[in-house]
Amino acid sequence: MSKRRSDLPKRVYEKGGAYWHVRAKGKKRIWTRLSTIRDGLPALYRAMADMEQADQARDSMAALIADWLAEVGSRHSVKTQANDAYQTRTISESFQEFRAQEVTAPAIVEFLKHFSDKPRTYNAYRSMLRELMRFAEEKGYRPPGTNPVDSLKTMSVKARTRYITDSEVRRIKVAVMYGDDGKRTRSGHTICALIDMAYLTGQRIGDLLTLRWSDVGKQGITFQPAKTEGSTGAQVLIAWTQRLRDVVDRLRALPNQSPAFVFCTLQGQPYTYSGASTAWKRAVKRAGVMDCHFHDLRGKALTDVDRGRGIMEAQRMGAHSTQSQTADYVRHKRALKVDATR
């Protein structure tokens, strides 16, 4: 490395007739040309000011989030990308004056106070901030091992105990078929089939909406759960039953059926999560069923399989890597039966 003059700013060196700024990035040295020596020190300081301003823009929270969305978030599923965009927009607005290295645990605590009455939302934002701070370390904007979120606890979330009854499912399906005006809805048959398949297969709505006809085979329907795709890679083959065949036959008979996707709109386009979710919520409201999420159909399916065929079968349907995951999932949905003392 060239010799540094004592009257120069820190990390500035002369080399090849120019002033250079040198910074460490791991074991590497990053050299940035500032100005020529013959232009004097005023030009050097102007160049350093410009560089510092550019660095501040590059490691601002807004810029960090934009980079994360492009490099990391873009690899997530469509539904997850929508959640990412919503969460990061809120974080970007709240931390718009911060550089990545300036984000501290107290600042994050102050931000998370807004969600203290919503444990799931609180934990989701905590998780996103932890990931963004990890990304900042990866980019060299924070020293390694300085993630401020690591010292913050998650909020305990009460397990969901909701179990949808068969009667409630029937009421919701009727409400799917008929609108507020009493007339048949255009999407009713598709959404009813989606509800039936969600229960019969026990799969998540995101995996149902991305289901392709190529996944429908002689032995049954094969699912690649998005949650296991990046980890265990576990697939689930749901073997045929007569009820499951009937659902598929109903879908095949629908007009404007897509040659690729099983669930599609009247225009033959894949059904979006937003579209399916909206149809479900409207039907639930019309049916007068309280506190009912689409994901509760998966809980009902796994609980019924556990009750009828055992925990191991429920584990396979849920694509859970351990039996304890399945047990935790279904144990809150029904009361444990025990005999009286005498």
Q: What is the 3-state secondary structure (H, E, C) of the chain?
A: CCCCCCCCCCCEEEECCEEEEEEEECCEEEEEEEEEHHHHHHHHHHHHHHHHHHHHHHCEHHHHHHHHHHHCHHHCCHHHHHHHHHHHHHHHHHCCCCEHHHCCHHHHHHHHHHHCCCHHHHHHHHHHHHHHHHHHHHHCCCCCCCCHHHHCCCCCCCCCCCCCCHHHHHHHHHHHHECCCCCECCCHHHHHHHHHHHHHHCCCHHHHHCCEHHHECCCEEEECCHHHHCCCCCCEEEECCHHHHHHHHHHHCCCCCCCCECCECCCCCECCHHHHHHHHHHHHHHHCCCCCCCCHHHHHHHHHHHHHHCHHHHHHHHCCCCHHHHHHHHCCCCCCCCCCCC
Query: What is the arithmetic mean of pLDDT over 328-335?
Result: 70
Predicted local distance difference test score (pLDDT) of residue 28: 80
Separation CA 222–CA 228 (nearest Å): 14
Separation CA 252–CA 193 (nearest Å): 11
Predicted local distance difference test score (pLDDT) of residue 2: 56
Residue 177 lies in a domain: yes
Domain extent, residue 36, equals 12-58
At 209, the pLDDT band (50, 70, 90 cuts) reads: very high
Query: Are residues 324 and 187 part of one domain?
Result: yes
Query: Are residues 116 and 97 part of one domain?
Result: yes
pLDDT score of 41 more than 60: yes
Residue 210 lies in a domain: yes
Kindly report the average pLDDT of the chain as a whole number.
89
pLDDT single digits (tens) 64-85: 998 899 899 888 877 788 789 8
Of all residues in the chain, what percent carry a pLDDT higher than 70?
Answer: 93
Predicted local distance difference test score (pLDDT) of residue 53: 66
Predicted local distance difference test score (pLDDT) of residue 21: 87
Instruction: Please say whether the beta carbons of 329 and 320 come within 8 A.
Output: yes
Which of 77-81, 99-103, 218-222, 230-234 is least confident? 230-234
Query: Are residues 174 and 95 part of one domain?
Result: no
* CATH of residue 325: 1.10.443.10
Q: What angle do CA 150, 154, 157 make, to 5 degrees?
A: 165
The length of the chain is: 342
Predicted local distance difference test score (pLDDT) of residue 5: 63
* CATH of residue 146: 1.10.150
Query: Are residues 247 and 265 part of one domain?
Result: yes
Q: Is pLDDT larger for residue 273 or for residue 331?
A: 273
Q: Which of 23, 42, 58 is the last residue of a domain?
A: 58
The packing angle between helices 296-309 and 323-330, to 10°, is: 110
Please, which residues have CB within 8 angstroms of residue 150's CB and are 6 or more apart in sequence? 130
Number of domains comprising the chain: 3
Predicted local distance difference test score (pLDDT) of residue 56: 57
Predicted local distance difference test score (pLDDT) of residue 324: 83
Predicted local distance difference test score (pLDDT) of residue 236: 93
Q: Is pLDDT larger for residue 35 or for residue 111?
A: 111
Q: What angle do CA 283, 286, 289 make, to 5 degrees?
A: 85
At position 327, the amino acid (one-letter code) is A
Predicted local distance difference test score (pLDDT) of residue 109: 97
Q: What is the pTM of this model?
A: 0.70
Predicted local distance difference test score (pLDDT) of residue 144: 94
pLDDT score of 334 more than 80: no
pLDDT score of 223 more than 80: yes
Query: Are residues 180 and 212 part of one domain?
Result: yes
Query: Are residues 189 and 145 part of one domain?
Result: no
Query: Are residues 109 and 147 part of one domain?
Result: yes
Q: Which of 151, 183, 208 is the last residue of a domain?
A: 151
Residue 260 tokens read as 């690729």
Query: Are residues 49 and 71 part of one domain?
Result: no
Query: Are residues 282 and 184 part of one domain?
Result: yes
Query: Are residues 249 and 235 part of one domain?
Result: yes
Residue 249 lies in a domain: yes
Predicted local distance difference test score (pLDDT) of residue 47: 83
Query: What is the arithmetic mean of pLDDT over 277-287?
Result: 96
Predicted local distance difference test score (pLDDT) of residue 286: 96
Of all residues in the chain, what percent carry a pLDDT higher than 90?
Answer: 59
Residue 339 lies in a domain: no
At 133, the pLDDT band (50, 70, 90 cuts) reads: very high
pLDDT single digits (tens) 235-280: 999 999 999 999 999 999 998 888 999 999 988 889 988 899 999 9
Predicted local distance difference test score (pLDDT) of residue 250: 96
Distances in Å between the Cα of 251 and the Cα atoms of 175, 188, 244, 254, 256 are 19, 12, 11, 5, 10
What is the phi-psi region of residue 36: left when phi exceeds 0, alpha when psi lies from -120 to 50, beta otherwise?
beta
Instruction: Please say whether the beta carbons of 13 and 40 come within 8 A.
Output: no
Predicted local distance difference test score (pLDDT) of residue 267: 87
Residue 7 lies in a domain: no
pLDDT score of 39 more than 90: no
Q: Which of 214, 207, 184, 210 is nearest to 264 (CA)?
A: 210
Separation CA 35–CA 17 (nearest Å): 9
Separation CA 138–CA 135 (nearest Å): 5
pLDDT single digits (tens) 71-120: 998 888 777 887 898 899 999 999 988 999 999 999 999 999 999 999 99
Predicted local distance difference test score (pLDDT) of residue 228: 75
